Amino acid sequence: MIHLVLQEKLQQAVLALMPDADVSSVLVRPCPEPKFGDYQSNALMGLAKRNQLNPRELAAQVVEQLDVADCCEPVNIAGPGFLNFRLKTDALSDALVGAAKGEHLFYRTAAEPRTIVIDYSSPNVAKPMHVGHIRSTILGDTLAKVFRLLGHSVVTDNHIGDWGTQFGKLLVGWKEHLDRDALGRDALAEMERLYKLTNSACEEDETVLIRARSELVKLQSGDAENLAIWDEMIELSRHQFDEIYGRLGVDFDETLGESFYNDRLKGVVDELVTQGIAEESDSAQVVFFNHHKLLKKHPAIVQKSDGAANYTTTDLATLEHRQNSWQPSEVIYVTDGRQQLHFQQLFELYNRWKPGHGMKLNHVWFGAILGEDGRPFKTRSGEIIRLSGLLNEAEQRAFDAVSEKNPDLPEEERRDIACVVGIGAIKYADLSGNRQSDYVFNWDTMLALVGNTAPYLLYAFTRIRSIFRKLGDESLTRPESFALAQAEELTLAKHLLRFGLVLELVIDECRPNYLCNYLYELAGHFASFYENCPVLQAEGDIRTQRLALCDLTGQVLNTGLETLGLETTERM
């Protein structure tokens, strides 16, 4: 929160000199080199360049206007115009005292909350969720949690695939080859079997393909029998999806599938044609992007030559519904990187269709999960890995590790710990890297008790909790101040103060790995503090202050892990 005070004062100082300046980019960030200070701003160099001023002279003038003596040592001007801020110990102490009193936890909620719609997960009906769904599900859920933590209103929408050509083949398979017993045991596996069976038959026998098309037309025309089967497919699918989401601790405000928008699709196409945005080409309705450098060679079809709509049409109707229903300031789509072109087209098209809509349209894309051979992560036989099986294996591996480390714990407790550690390890491995990079799935790495892993952070939290178990009935006293006389205390305190800044960076760039890295560094700073600064053996005010530092570290770790969607445990 101190960084926000510094940032606001810096912006005011700039405005005092340049009343018309856009200070939205005048930001204060952690200093990359602690020897130069605690926080830094390089914004004056860009501001000087835009206004044809000498950056160092501008920096000197701004510093004259800047009053931060209450929390900082004299501001240092470095290089061509960097401003370096070093916090006073008293300011650090005041921030820690406020946190210890429960006034804040080093972040503040938005003064002007925004409404954000986040679209993520989006499995297809009648198909098991597989490993490919995990990145979207975990990333979207974490972003929703961070936005909410900072006081924003979030609508999460699981846009499931419950309409389209695959249902013609599914209906043929259901009517001709359904095994009711198998459906009862594992509905999604049976429906996947039916689809594969009919799809192969369609490739070999055109009469099967004709039957599939006929069943699809009947479904789309409202045939009672086909609608009843389709409804059952959706219900069975959602039941199994919800099992997975329950294990992942993920839920949604809305689950509006593609079928929800079906009645709006013709109107969307008609409006695009009427506005001159879409035009006929080879009997299809197409949007050309002749004035868009990147999309010039990639026109978008909004109605196929047979009159059917497609993903683009449905996504336009979906975006319109979101605008009308929730008036969001931002809509975020969390999908893999292969859909970048689709969303570039969608956003450009919506901007032309609804100019002045006022929403930020944001495609948050991610890379692939690879096996240790560097290829897409699959079973040894080449099958896509089902998500339920992956979660089972994570819990079993964690259970084996917990049983080896703590064989005397009751089995039920070991199972509970294994669930927290196993699911947490998968989530954290996914979130801790740059989302746009591919990452290699490795059980040994993600379940390791050392390094930037969920088990390491969970273990750090349990160590803090064990300190307070040793206190027994002794109550925690709130310090009136923090001396921070040892270097490790000072380093830990300064890192705690950066929690809010990191949360803001996460939502600004939709990158949860910033929070993962922060928590990993926090655990490291705490370990160094605990090793070099006796806590329970200390006396008087020093003991009180160090216990409070332990407590605040535990609170930040717990809040950070919960925001990443990880449960914590008292023992490991």
Q: Where are the domains of the chain?
A: 2-87, 166-248, 454-563
pLDDT at 137: 97
Q: What is the pLDDT of residue 3?
A: 83
Q: Band of the pLDDT at 154, cuts 50, 70, 90? A: very high
Query: Which pLDDT band holds residue 226 (cuts at 50, 70, 90)?
Result: very high
Residue range 148-174: mean pLDDT, rounded:
94
pLDDT in tens, 420-442: 999 999 999 999 999 999 988 88
CA–CA distance, 280 with 282 (Å, rounded to integer): 7
> Would you call 222 helix, strand, or coil by DSSP?
coil
pLDDT digits (tens, 9 = 90+) for 68-117: 988 999 999 988 888 999 999 999 999 999 999 999 999 999 999 999 99
**Four-way CATH pick for 454-563: 1.25.10.10, 3.30.1370.100, 1.10.730.10, 3.30.2310.20:** 1.10.730.10
Lowest mean pLDDT among 163-167, 283-287, 341-345, 470-474: 470-474
Q: Which of 169 and 81 is assigned the larger pLDDT? A: 169
Contacts of residue 272, defined as CB under 8 A and 6 or more positions apart, other chains included, come to: 278, 285, 287, 302, 349, 353
Confidence of residue 382 (pLDDT cuts 50, 70, 90): low
The model's pTM: 0.93
Residue 380 has pLDDT above 80, yes or no: no
Average pLDDT over residues 330-358: 96
Q: What percent of the chain has pLDDT over 70?
A: 99
Distance, in Å, from the CA atom of 138 to the CA atom of 135, rounded to the nearest integer, reads 5
pLDDT in tens, 273-291: 999 999 999 999 999 999 8
Give pLDDT, residue 34: 84
Contacts of 259-268 spanning 24+ positions with Cβ under 8 A? 259/162, 259/163, 260/321, 261/314, 261/317, 261/318, 261/321, 262/163, 264/317, 264/320, 264/321, 265/309, 265/313, 265/314, 265/317, 266/309, 268/302, 268/309, 268/313, 268/316, 268/317, 268/320
Interval 553-568 mean pLDDT: 97
Q: How many C-beta neighbours within 10 Å does residue 440 have?
A: 14
Residue 381 pLDDT greater than 70, yes or no: no
Question: Topology of 2-87 in CATH?
Answer: Gyrase A; domain 2 (3.30.1360)
Bridge pairing between strands 39-41 and 29-30: antiparallel
Q: Collapsing DSSP states into helix, strand and coil, what is residue 64?
A: helix
Query: What pLDDT, in 10s, does the model give residues 298-342?
Result: 999 999 888 878 899 999 999 999 999 999 999 999 999 999 999
As a whole number of angstroms, the distance between CA 16 and CA 26 comes to 14
Where residue 52 falls among pLDDT bands split at 50, 70, 90? confident
The whole-number pLDDT of residue 239 equals 92
Please give the share of the chain, as a percent, with pLDDT higher than 90. 76
Average pLDDT over residues 340-357: 96
Could you give the CA distance from residue 537 to residue 542 in angstroms, rounded to a whole number? 10
Q: What is the mean pLDDT of the chain?
A: 93
Question: So what's the pLDDT on residue 305?
Answer: 86
Distance CA 541, CA 16 (A): 43
Q: Is the alpha carbon torsion for 518, 524, 528, 534 positive or negative?
A: positive
Q: What is the pLDDT of residue 493?
A: 97
pLDDT digits (tens, 9 = 90+) for 512-537: 999 999 999 999 999 999 999 999 99
Tokens linked to 89: 């110990």
- pLDDT tens digits, one per residue of 239-270: 989 999 999 999 999 999 999 999 999 999 99
pLDDT at 80: 86
**Res. 384 pLDDT band, cuts 50 70 90:** confident
From the number of C-beta atoms within 10 Å of its C-beta (0-12, 13-18, 19+), residue 126 rates as: buried
